[in-house]
Amino acid sequence: MADGVTIVDPAQVSIDLRARIGADTVIYPFTTITGPAIIGANCRIGPHSAVGPRAVLIDGTVVGPFEAVG
């Protein structure tokens, strides 16, 4: 969050410490990000989505509700 990532409800999100998330990305509640996933800048993730350890999301990617990637 200090690097410009917005987490709408931090208590309702699980993010692996190895994940890299770009600035101005918004992560919505009930999202899980596992492993060394790479998420670019200006992305929208969730709600209720899962980003797996092999995910590499380019800048501006939108992962919709209930979607799973990587």
Q: Is the pLDDT at 2 greater than 80, yes or no?
A: no
pLDDT surpasses 80 at 3: no
- The pLDDT tens digits of the residues spanning 27-50 come to 999 999 999 999 999 999 999 999
Q: Does the structure show a pLDDT above 70 at 60?
A: yes
pLDDT of residue 5 exceeding 80: yes
pLDDT for residue 17 is more than 80: yes
Q: What is the DSSP letter of 25?
A: -
14 burial level (CB within 10 Å; 0-12, 13-18, 19+): exposed
Model confidence at 64: pLDDT above 80: yes
3-state secondary structure of 39: strand
